[in-house]
Chains A and B, each alone.
Chain A
């Protein structure tokens, strides 16, 4: 809690300083500029809340801004409602607009989302022009100006804008540090992995766009009050959406400071150029502004904030890096010395059936990727799924964890039919998985990565932290839990993904080529971790190519070829089966066996 308050200090100091400076400005034009800086900063923050944290770039934030602006103006013109009332209403309308736009548009991804968002404000723009709302002015209230937010001293607007900005910053920080923010960051870094880790991505994205729309609506309304007049171009135009993007990206995306820094630098620059040079050389201000943006983005492609932070970090990190002490004395590493012990013989096939797959099929066009696959997974069993490339192994996992819908067949988890559910629902029901191509959240620390996986079970943030640290301990990464995922080795990433899946306390773990890309010793370490999990009672299905490790690890095999099960049974029997050798193991294994 103390740390939270201390990190607020720069924000409060900044706001106070800004207020002091703004009070000393006497020129009315510069007073307006002083007001516009926090206004665009708020708009940038609203954009950042959606696009900065989820990575879904919105080109259409003017839709919310404009709805708010027109709501305030029309509310006063037609119903004589004061902006004091209408700005909160504008926020509600902006939020509703966000929800209405988000619900259909979130079906789209990447560039498609970005470009679809572009269409909304522009479509609305033409409708407003058609409605004859080309230029609407706020009526001046001479008898009771304060009740209508009309102040003769322009500096009051600046203070109001600052208060709104402070509120938005605080709100953003609350979001950032909660489950909400973690979910959004996880979506940004890898939506599929987030979904598989039990995050209902659509629900969180809708919450984000609603909140973002509400903030944009409120600040749009305030903007109308400051300027006293709205036109469709000035609130729905493409330049308005671009303004949000520009201040946020210039300053740095995904941080509360980014939009503020961007706005503090760019808005006065643009306005001053406009005032000083605009009349003599029309357009010169746009050229200089554009040049400034280009220069900064070439030097700091991720925005000023991150550039400065990375620079400071590097400086302060140097002495730390010099202190010796390999961080890799984890429990997992301790196993590496010992040879992999053979799996203690149990009598497989006696436990309760946890997962039963019946006649599962799925085809892509003409290709039958999975056909009539059936198998049972018993409590505390390790099942190996093997087969040549393209045999449909990963597709089976994708069907089991909900990335794909089965064409036909049943998936019974504890006897309940689960096929066709969404990944986050299946995760909640107890199916955790890792990925063949690793999907870490690269910019997050190990513990944050794992916390994301824990939310599906945890009711509170504290509980999630606890589940996460337990899971990290189980894979032996406790010592390096604070390191950023981007800095880890392949082995550490594999273990981290394992911990992320474990944190949700699954009943079944689906491991997709967890040993791929690992050296012999590294693979043994990971195998040791998996064996320990099995001893602790976990039920595991694993896809793997490394036969040597697999034979020691698994209780039974399912062998797939061309999407169908060709053999299943105990390792010893399966590895001797001629069909298996023919289909998959081939010469390589024969040579290996003769050694």
Chain B
């Protein structure tokens, strides 16, 4: 009984902590997808770049020396965000904008085919370019906090929950980033133009909003946010240039679960994925952890295809 409870609470806390990071990851993709309706297959690889950016900030660019081993990684991770945002901005400017936005209405399937292939191409270049530049050795951004834990409790029946310190801080950083992003989108002028462009690009154009620019900003923000999430993940999980493929699916599952176009929804979708992944270990063998994610994902889209927070509109 106690053991089962302990297992349950431990899986629950692990799920919430990893879910907070997944949530942030999904928010990054959800922003891009919600505003532009572009399926970006390279999002996982942008995240991978974020991990390496944080890694090099920490080890090679003096963050470790300045801020020390314990908190240096988090500084490096937060620095990686803006860098990747700039990178995303230019990827959109030079590549994505040419097959998306206002100019695609004449193309077959509104340019979806071209967008897919383009982002697959970008993903290939980033993965293999990563292999060339970073090598295939596993890297990680470890802090002493990664291997120590806070003990919470004893709670019920003398059961305590252990929370890995690095993951705890990861979750806090993730929530704060999420909060800042939400404020930016709901309060600022640029946030309003993003929402307008997402809701009705044509009407937004008539209202004097530069929709292509709004898309570019969304793409940059989304890339930066996902990069931060990647860095946070890297404090506990080692990574390699091909790590993106593993997470891009988690991201899409989370975004669809939350309802496309809803930023908060994407966060809760990612959180759900984290919880399902960790809780499934209680009843399923570890290898089936990820299979469980996809089964839950399929079940939810069958029963609520618009996601938790989405809505469906179609006009005849």
Contact = CB atoms under 8 A, between A and B. Distances in A.
Contacts of A119: 249, 253, 294, 297-298
Nearest to A303: B113
A126 B130 contact: no
B137 to A, nearest CB: 12
Q: Chain A: interface secondary structure?
A: helix
B120 A253 contact: no
Given A57-B116, A104-B302, A301-B114, A118 B316 contact: no
A442 to B, nearest CB: 9
Given A126-B287, A129-B287, A283-B130, A294 B121 contact: yes
Contact of B99 (A287, A301, A394): A301
A406 to B, nearest CB: 15
B118 A298 contact: yes
Contact of B114 (A254, A302, A394): A302
Interface stretch (B62-70, B103-111, B183-191): B103-111
Nearest to A436: B316
Contact of B301 (A112, A293, A301, A437): A112
Interface in A509-534: none
A363 to B, nearest CB: 16
Contacts of A302: 107-108, 113-114
Contacts of A286: 124-125, 127-129, 131
B294 A122 contact: yes
Interface in B234-252: 241, 245, 249, 252
A283 B295 contact: no
A282 interface: yes
A469 interface: no
Interface string A363-393: 0000000000000000000000000000000
A249 B117 contact: yes
A581 interface: no
Nearest to A285: B128
Contact of A246 (B108, B112, B120, B302): B120
Contacts of B301: 108, 112, 115-116
A62 to B, nearest CB: 13
A403 interface: yes
A112 B95 contact: no
B291 A123 contact: yes
A61 to B, nearest CB: 13
A282 B134 CA distance: 11
Interface residues of B, number: 51
Contacts of B252: 115, 118
Nearest to A126: B291
B107 A111 contact: no
Given A108-B301, A127-B288, A130-B291, A249 B113 contact: yes
A127 B293 CA distance: 12
Contacts of A112: 256, 301, 305
B302 to A, nearest CB: 6
Contacts of A108: 301-302, 305
A123 B294 contact: yes
Nearest to A193: B316
A253 B116 CA distance: 13
Q: Chain B: interface secondary structure?
A: helix
Contacts of A282: 131-132, 136
Contacts of B260: 111
A254 B113 CA distance: 11
A484 B202 CA distance: 26
A115 B297 CA distance: 10
Nearest to B41: A242
A116 B249 CA distance: 10
A290 interface: yes
Nearest to A302: B108
Interface in B129-157: 129-132, 136
B295 to A, nearest CB: 6
Contact of A245 (B98, B116, B256, B288): B116
B86 interface: no
Nearest to B295: A123
A262 B116 CA distance: 15
Nearest to B260: A111
Contacts of A245: 116-117, 120
A291 interface: yes
B128 A283 contact: yes
A291 B316 contact: no
A192 interface: yes
Contacts of A242: 41, 120
Interface string A229-267: 000000000110010011001100110000000000000
Interface string A120-146: 101100110110000000000000000
A297 B39 contact: no
Contact of A289 (B124, B294, B297): B124
Given A119-B253, A122-B249, A394-B316, A130 B287 contact: yes
B165 interface: no
A250 B112 contact: no
Contacts of A437: 315-316
Nearest to A132: B287
A301 B113 contact: yes
A130 B288 contact: yes
A284 B249 contact: no
A70 interface: no
Interface in B260-316: 260, 285, 287-291, 294-295, 297-298, 301-302, 305, 315-316
Contacts of B285: 130
A246 B122 CA distance: 13
B316 A57 contact: no
24 contacts: A57-B109, A104-B302, A111-B260, A112-B256, A119-B297, A119-B298, A123-B295, A127-B288, A192-B316, A245-B117, A245-B120, A250-B117, A253-B113, A282-B131, A283-B128, A283-B130, A286-B131, A287-B132, A294-B122, A301-B99, A303-B113, A394-B316, A398-B316, A435-B316
Interface of B: 37, 39, 41, 95, 98-99, 107-109, 111-114, 116-118, 120-125, 127-132, 136, 241, 245, 249, 252-253, 256, 260, 285, 287-291, 294-295, 297-298, 301-302, 305, 315-316
Which 8 residue pairs are nearest across A and B when measured between Cβ atoms? Answer: A286-B128, A283-B131, A290-B124, A301-B114, A290-B125, A283-B128, A293-B121, A126-B291
Given A115-B256, A129-B287, 6 more contacts: A111-B39, A122-B290, A123-B298, A126-B287, A284-B128, A297-B99
